[in-house]
């Protein structure tokens, strides 16, 4: 699937889905990381932020964080506090 439709579909999925299981969240983060469309940034930020919550997925979080870092983008969505490290 071309980047633009894939970016829109995956970003919408992440935005409208809460509590992804770890395996699915990681797969989505990896797919988003491989897309070169800027519309994936908010979805990656959400995955990264959600990964810090209790029961969050470390692998999905680190995948999203690495992709955001590679893009030179903020790691968290606007208005969200930086989660405390444990």
State residue 85's pLDDT score: 55
As for how many domains the chain has, the answer is 1
Quote the pTM value: 0.86
Residue located via tokens 């829109």: 8
Q: Is 53 part of a structural domain of the chain?
A: yes
Model confidence pLDDT, tens digit, residues 3-16: 788 999 999 999 99
Q: Is 82 part of a structural domain of the chain?
A: no
The parent domain of residue 16 ranges over 3-71
Query: What tokens appear for 19 in the block?
Result: 């509590």
Top pLDDT among 4 and 66 is at: 66
Percent of the chain with pLDDT over 70: 91
Q: Is 76 part of a structural domain of the chain?
A: no
Q: Is 16 part of a structural domain of the chain?
A: yes
Is the pLDDT at 83 greater than 90? The verdict is: no
């Amino acid at each position: 699937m071309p980047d633009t439709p894939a970016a829109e579909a995956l970003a919408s999925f992440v935005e409208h889905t809460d509590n992804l299981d770890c395996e699915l969240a990681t797969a989505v983060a990896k797919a988003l990381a491989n897309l070169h469309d800027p519309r994936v940034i908010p979805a990656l930020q959400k995955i990264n932020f959600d990964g810090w919550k209790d029961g969050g997925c470390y692998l999905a979080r680190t995948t999203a964080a690495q992709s955001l870092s590679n893009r030179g983008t903020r790691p968290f969505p606007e208005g969200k506090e930086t989660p405390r490290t444990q």
